[in-house]
Amino acid sequence: MKTKLVLLLLLTIGLLPTQSQIIFQPSSGANNGQDNGSETSGKDSWVNRDSPTTNYGSLNYSLSSPRSSCNVSDYKMYFKFDVTNLPAIVSAVYFGVTHIKHDNYCYSNCNANFYFYRCTSEWDEMALIQSNLPSEDPTSFYGPINITFPNDLGNKEYDITPTYRFWKENPGLNFGFVIYSPTLGCNNASVFFGVKTSDDAIENERPYLKIVNSTTALNHQQTTKSTPFPNPFDNRINIDVSNVSSCYFTDIKGQMINAKYDASSKQFQTEDFPKGVYFLHLLASGKNSVYKLIKL
């Protein structure tokens, strides 16, 4: 699937957004061990200590639990998002999931605090088992998330902004993260942190990152050496983006649109754009700007 972008149109007089958000929601991918968390290659899995040699990388759900002191019935779940092509300058980033309802039964360990920990080594979602778990940072980067039985948490979002920024600043250290509860007790149908995965058939229930960007209204400050023209446009948009670190188009529905850029003529080639309203997003020197453009 394509990356979905939803623009919160907090408009100035010039109809220019002052804030936008990107929903980055990977699809299942090939499930062949090569998925890396990019938009068409969702990467998530989990392990069950009671079935140490079973891999769960292709399931449409994932589970984590407290640590069990009386048996080996406990779980950890793993996620990775490839943030390479996502914005470096952000206001906030949220990890969004669809929780699995838990209201049938729970006999012990029915109240636990869950935490997120950064992985510090690589892992393969289709080979992950109890004996080859990645190493992890001993200090959590998010939590506690208190979960009690019974529950029906639905869609929840968790603020992971500092870790997202860490991944952008240290791309070689993005090995994803693991979720579980360090709460020690006797697990007997215990409470769990369970969510749908990128392999779920229902697209809107898959894990995602919501990236919120504060943008600079064009009436106040420019990030580029020029303003895009003509507007309305036809087959070309002229603008010098030589000082821009990131640029992309979205349509009125928030879908990302590809456009070739000719650096010699300083033009985007837009002959394939259908008629309609578009937004050109630019990032330069840590400042964001969004231009509203119309193709007639």
- pLDDT-derived band of residue 17, with 50, 70 and 90 as boundaries? very low
Mean pLDDT of the region 207-227: 63
Look up residue 47 and give its amino acid.
Answer: V
- Residue 81 clears pLDDT 90, i.e. is over it: yes
**pLDDT number for residue 268:** 94
What does CATH list as the number for 19-213?
Answer: 2.60.120
φ/ψ of 73, rounded to 5, equals: -95, 75
Burial of 194 (0-12, 13-18, 19+ CB in 10 A): buried
pLDDT tens for each residue of 97-112: 999 999 999 999 999 9
Cβ-Cβ contacts under 8 Å for 264 (sequence gap 6 or more)? none
Map out the domains of the chain as residue ranges: 19-213, 215-295
pLDDT tens for each residue of 175-204: 999 999 999 999 999 999 999 999 999 999
pLDDT tens for each residue of 29-75: 999 999 999 999 999 999 999 999 999 999 999 999 999 999 999 99
Only one residue has tokens 């289709």, namely 126
pLDDT tens for each residue of 137-161: 999 999 999 999 999 999 999 999 9
Cβ-Cβ contacts under 8 Å for 163 (sequence gap 6 or more)? 116, 118, 141, 142, 177
pLDDT tens for each residue of 252-287: 766 778 889 998 999 999 999 999 989 888 877 666
Judged by DSSP in three states, 188 sits in strand
Fold of 215-295: Immunoglobulin-like (2.60.40)
Burial of 169 (0-12, 13-18, 19+ CB in 10 A): exposed
Check: pTM over 0.75? Answer yes or no: no
**pLDDT number for residue 282:** 81
**What letter does residue 166 receive in the DSSP assignment?**
H
Q: Which residues make beta-bridge pairs with 184?
A: 67
- Residue 212 clears pLDDT 90, i.e. is over it: no
